[in-house]
């Protein structure tokens, strides 16, 4: 029976990862404690191992456990993003570590080469399953303590030679918290991933004394009030201060109980930079990431890439903790099938 204490460590670097997860058995131990943190619970009779006794395990099938009470088998990967995968757990752990710890992330082509996966489609599906595990089901709203900037942008595809006003890109709305640098309790006064020595003089926010907090992004069909207002109500805490431009789509926010602060920027870069700096920095980084790492993405899967970007953005000060977060969500998240991805039946969850 796996020992829970053996898998509680979070790898801080590549040698650390290799030491913690040197083989398939170590990965099984870690996944077992993620799946059953208080001990084995049968998915059929719901008996806890404290009552029925520890489950039977098999040398020939190391990821299968048999309940002592009802004698039915439970797969360790059942109900997770790794369900029925032919890839070993080691490959999944390497995938989660590389995708979450590398700053620019990984394209499916690079992912395929690094893990020695034979087919591009397999790498593509594994990455999308990991992206499904980057959306925390119990994620909360933002803006309880800090102002929130909200705006829209176009992202995704590239348009060339189609004339003015025609674009293949997709409309995306975003909301981001704006907090004083180093004053959030979450940051504790210092980035935990910075090296020792005196604090850096860089003020963040491209030289400003503010810092972008939590981010939310969502693909939207249009800029109407019926689209923008529900997005704000879903992701921004009631009564929060919300900063937008003077677009009519945000007009009802004050009636919804928000402290709505709007400015008619009218394409003026100086006004935009002063009133909505953080959301446009987030949009700029998003465009650079989509083009630099993925060379553009299809509208069908854009929401999945937004989910990965938000996950990476919100954990940028703790990239190594992100690995543990993905595995924690992966054991309880629904994942797309091969057919669902390629035929469009799968709907990517929002951030």
pLDDT of residue 166: 59
CA nearest to 111, candidates 99, 102, 101, 100: 99
Domain 148-301+309-316 has CATH 3.30.420: yes
- Answer with the residue of higher pLDDT: 6 or 24: 24
What sign does the dihedral 274-188-310-319 (CA atoms) show?
A: positive
Please tell me what DSSP assigns to residue 350.
P
| Tens-digit pLDDT profile for residues 104-152 | 889 999 999 999 999 999 999 999 999 999 998 888 899 999 999 999 9
Average pLDDT of the chain, as a whole number? 86
Which of 99-108, 198-207, 341-350 is predicted most confidently? 99-108
Distance CA 34, CA 51 (A): 20
pLDDT of residue 190: 47
CA nearest to 296, candidates 111, 131, 159, 151: 159
pLDDT of residue 165: 59
| Tens-digit pLDDT profile for residues 281-323 | 999 999 999 999 998 898 999 999 999 999 999 988 887 788 9
What are the structural domain ranges in the chain?
148-301+309-316
Lowest mean pLDDT among 3-7, 27-31, 232-236: 3-7
Q: Is the pLDDT of residue 2 over 60?
A: no
Distance CA 269, CA 273 (A): 6
Q: Could you give the C-alpha distances from 297 to 86, 234, 247, in angstroms and in order?
A: 27, 26, 28
Q: Could you give the C-alpha distances from 153 to 88, 244, 256, 312, 319, in angstroms and in order?
A: 40, 13, 24, 19, 26
User: Residue written as tokens 């020792």?
Assistant: 196
Q: Is the pLDDT of residue 245 over 60?
A: yes
pLDDT of residue 178: 94
* Residues in the chain, total: 351
Q: Is the pLDDT of residue 198 over 70?
A: no
What's the order of all strands across the beta sheet hosting 241-245? Answer: 210-219, 170-180, 148-155, 241-245, 259-263
| Tens-digit pLDDT profile for residues 259-277 | 999 999 888 888 888 999 9
- Answer with the residue of higher pLDDT: 197 or 137: 137
pLDDT of residue 347: 87
Please report the DSSP string for 103-160 in residue order.
TT---HHHHHHHHT-S-HHHHHHHHHHHHHTTS-TT---B-SSS-EEEEEEEESS---
Distance CA 72, CA 70 (A): 6
| Tens-digit pLDDT profile for residues 85-97 | 999 999 999 999 9
Distance CA 173, CA 156 (A): 13
pLDDT of residue 189: 46
Q: Could you give the C-alpha distances from 245 to 41, 179, 262, in angstroms and in order?
A: 52, 19, 5
Longest dimension (CA), the chain: 70
pLDDT of residue 72: 95
Q: pTM value? A: 0.87
């Amino acid at each position: 029976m796996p020992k829970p204490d053996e898998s509680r460590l979070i790898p801080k670097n590549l040698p650390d990862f290799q030491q913690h997860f040197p083989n398939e058995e170590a990965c099984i131990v870690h996944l077992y404690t993620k799946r059953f943190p208080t001990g084995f619970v049968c998915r059929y009779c719901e008996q806890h191992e404290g009552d029925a006794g520890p489950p039977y395990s098999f040398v020939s099938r190391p990821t299968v456990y048999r309940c002592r009470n009802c004698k039915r088998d439970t797969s360790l990967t059942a109900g997770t993003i790794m369900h029925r995968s032919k890839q070993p757990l080691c490959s999944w752990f390497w995938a989660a570590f590389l995708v979450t710890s590398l700053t620019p992330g990984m394209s499916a082509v690079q992912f395929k080469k690094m893990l020695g996966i034979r087919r591009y489609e397999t790498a593509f599906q594994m990455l999308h399953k990991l992206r499904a595990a980057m959306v925390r089901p119990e994620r909360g709203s933002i803006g309880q303590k800090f102002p929130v900037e909200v705006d829209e942008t176009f992202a995704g595809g590239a348009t060339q030679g189609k004339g003015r006003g025609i674009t293949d890109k997709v409309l995306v709305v975003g909301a981001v918290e704006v907090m004083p640098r180093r004053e959030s309790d979450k940051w504790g006064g210092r980035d935990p991933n910075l090296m020792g020595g005196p604090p850096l003089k860089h003020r963040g926010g491209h030289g400003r004394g503010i810092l972008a907090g939590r981010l939310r992004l969502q693909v939207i069909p249009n800029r109407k009030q019926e689209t923008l207002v529900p997005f704000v109500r879903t992701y921004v805490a009631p009564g929060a201060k919300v900063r937008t431009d003077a677009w009519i789509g945000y007009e009802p926010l004050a009636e919804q109980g928000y402290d709505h602060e709007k400015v008619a920027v009218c394409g003026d870069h100086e006004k935009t930079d002063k009133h909505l700096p953080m959301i446009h920095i987030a949009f700029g980084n998003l465009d650079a990431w989509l083009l630099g790492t993925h060379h553009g993405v299809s509208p069908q899967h854009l929401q999945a890439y937004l989910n990965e970007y938000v996950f990476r953005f919100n954990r940028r000060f703790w990239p190594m903790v992100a690995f543990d977060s993905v595995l924690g969500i992966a054991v309880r998240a629904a994942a797309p099938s091969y057919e669902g991805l390629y035929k469009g039946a799968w709907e990517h969850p929002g951030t």
